[in-house]
């Protein structure tokens, strides 16, 4: 009996999906293959097919696991604004913890119990806030877009800071800006490029909720 066959009994679909998630987060979805997953698990590649029929099914299982990890903790007794905050924070946590896999979820676009629940929860909160029809759909989509957009902003800000020459702070890095051309940026660059992901997210979330309140 070969080593892969001896370990096959220890394999489960959940274990394979967990290894796939770790690989995607480390190296991106393009690194994912059944052979690579088998190597990471230390088993023969054919052993995986007893649990996952193919790579496409594995990607769907990854997407399902990620979305299913959202802790909604919704309480209909709360006011719609607080329900919206809870939903956005729960979605952000999953997206923040698994950014590459969340991108996979969006690309997959598959309809599963987990993705259907995400749609249902966002629409439920939008309707609780008094929106119906196309407006409810747009509000729900705006919530998700904001949560994802805040992560993009966070990544861009961190990248910008990483490019600052060693020994310079933000103010020093942009100290050569001509204030007659960039008056606001020259004055506020230190604040604009400060990385405070949670503070920025919460500030923007309140602006979003206020905007919906006044719609």
CA angle at 62 for the pair 60 and 66, rounded to the nearest 5° = 120
Name the CATH code of domain 3-53 (choices 2.40.50.140, 2.40.40.20, 1.10.10.60, 3.30.365.10). Answer: 1.10.10.60
Span 3-14, average pLDDT: 63
Give the integer Cα–Cα distance in Å for 124 and 130: 10
pLDDT one-digit tens code per residue, 57-112: 999 899 889 988 888 888 889 999 999 999 999 988 988 899 888 887 777 666 77
**SS3 state of residue 185:** helix
Alpha helices by DSSP H, the chain? 3-8, 13-27, 34-41, 45-48, 55-68, 80-97, 99-108, 113-128, 133-162, 170-173, 183-192, 197-213
pLDDT one-digit tens code per residue, 169-184: 666 666 667 888 888 8
State the pLDDT confidence band at 36, using cuts at 50, 70 and 90. Answer: very high
Helix axes 133-162, 113-128, angle to 10 degrees: 110
Evaluate whether 3-53 and 68-213 have a shared fold: no
pTM listed for this prediction: 0.75
Contact 179, 186 (CB under 8 A): yes
54 CB burial (10 A radius; 0-12, 13-18, 19+)? exposed
Break the chain into its structural domains and give their ranges: 3-53, 68-213
CATH code: domain 68-213 is 1.10.357.10
């Amino acid at each position: 009996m070969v080593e892969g066959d001896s370990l096959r009994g220890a394999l489960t679909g959940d274990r394979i999906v967990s290894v796939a998630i770790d690989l995607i987060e480390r190296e991106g979805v393009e690194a994912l293959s059944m052979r690579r997953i088998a190597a990471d698990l230390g088993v023969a590649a054919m052993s995986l097919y007893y649990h996952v029929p193919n790579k496409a099914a594995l990607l769907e299982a990854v997407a399902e696991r990620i979305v299913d990890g959202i802790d909604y903790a919704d309480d209909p007794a709360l006011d719609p604004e607080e329900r919206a905050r809870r939903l956005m924070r729960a979605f952000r946590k999953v997206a923040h913890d698994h950014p590459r896999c969340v991108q996979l979820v969006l690309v997959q676009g598959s309809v599963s119990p987990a993705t259907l629940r995400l749609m249902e929860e966002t629409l439920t909160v939008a309707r609780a806030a008094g929106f119906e029809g196309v407006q409810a759909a747009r509000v729900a989509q705006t919530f998700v877009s904001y949560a994802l957009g805040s992560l993009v902003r966070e990544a861009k800000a961190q990248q910008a800071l990483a490019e600052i020459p060693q020994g310079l702070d933000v103010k020093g890095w942009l100290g050569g800006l001509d204030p007659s051309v960039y008056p606001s940026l020259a004055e506020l660059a230190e604040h604009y490029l400060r990385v405070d992901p949670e503070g920025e997210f919460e500030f923007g979330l309140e602006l979003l909720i206020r905007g919906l309140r006044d719609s």
